[in-house]
C-alpha cells in the first residue's frame, strides 16, 4: 500500500512569490491533515479535511494560506504571497474515516525556504 506522498520535496522561492504544495493521502483515507514545523520548533497543526470539507482550519497562520481538497482526494496548500517566516517543513497526514490520531500516517514533508 502506497503511503502519503507530498510534492515537491523541496521548494526555494523568493519573498512575494506563490508556492503550491501537494499532498496525496493514502487511498481511501477520508481524513487529511496539514502540519508545519518551523526550524527548531514544534510541529504545529494547520488544518483538517474530512473528504472535501474543511473540518478545522484553526491552525492556519493567516489568509495568505489557502488549502483545498477538491473531490476529496489530493489536497493542495497554497501560500500567496510567501513571507520569510513561512519557511519550514510542511507535513501532510491522513487517516481512515473511523481512525483518529492513533492512525495518522505522515508524508515525508515539503521543505519550503523563502528567501
Q: Which residues bind another protein (CB under 8 A)?
A: 4, 9, 31, 33, 35, 40-45, 48, 56, 58-59, 91, 93, 95, 100-109
Q: Which is nearer to another protein, 5 or 17 (CB)?
A: 5
Instruction: Give CA angle at 108 (105, 111), nearest 5°.
Output: 135
Minimum CB–partner distance for residue 93 and another protein (Å): 7
Cα 1 to Cα 4, 5, 26, 27, distances in angstroms:
10, 12, 8, 8
Least Å distance, CB 15 to another protein, is: 25
Whichever of 1 and 42 has its CB closer to another protein, that residue is 42
Q: Classify residue 28 as left (phi > 0), alpha (psi -120 to 50) or beta.
A: left
- Closer residue to another protein in complex, CB, 17/22: 22
Maximum distance among all Cα pairs of the chain, rounded to whole angstroms: 41
Nearest distance from residue 83's CB to another protein, in Å? 22
Amino acid at each position: 500500500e502506497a503511503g502519503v506522498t507530498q510534492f515537491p520535496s523541496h521548494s526555494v522561492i523568493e519573498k512575494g512569490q506563490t508556492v503550491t504544495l501537494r499532498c496525496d493521502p493514502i487511498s481511501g483515507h477520508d481524513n487529511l491533515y496539514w502540519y508545519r514545523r518551523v526550524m527548531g520548533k514544534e510541529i504545529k497543526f494547520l488544518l483538517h479535511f474530512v473528504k472535501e470539507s474543511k473540518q478545522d482550519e484553526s491552525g492556519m497562520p493567516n489568509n495568505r494560506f489557502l488549502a483545498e481538497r477538491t473531490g476529496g482526494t489530493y489536497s493542495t496548500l497554497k501560500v500567496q504571497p510567501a513571507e520569510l517566516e513561512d519557511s519550514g517543513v510542511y507535513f501532510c497526514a491522513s487517516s481512515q474515516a473511523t481512525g483518529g490520531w492513533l492512525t495518522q500516517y505522515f508524508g515525508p514533508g515539503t521543505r519550503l525556504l523563502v528567501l
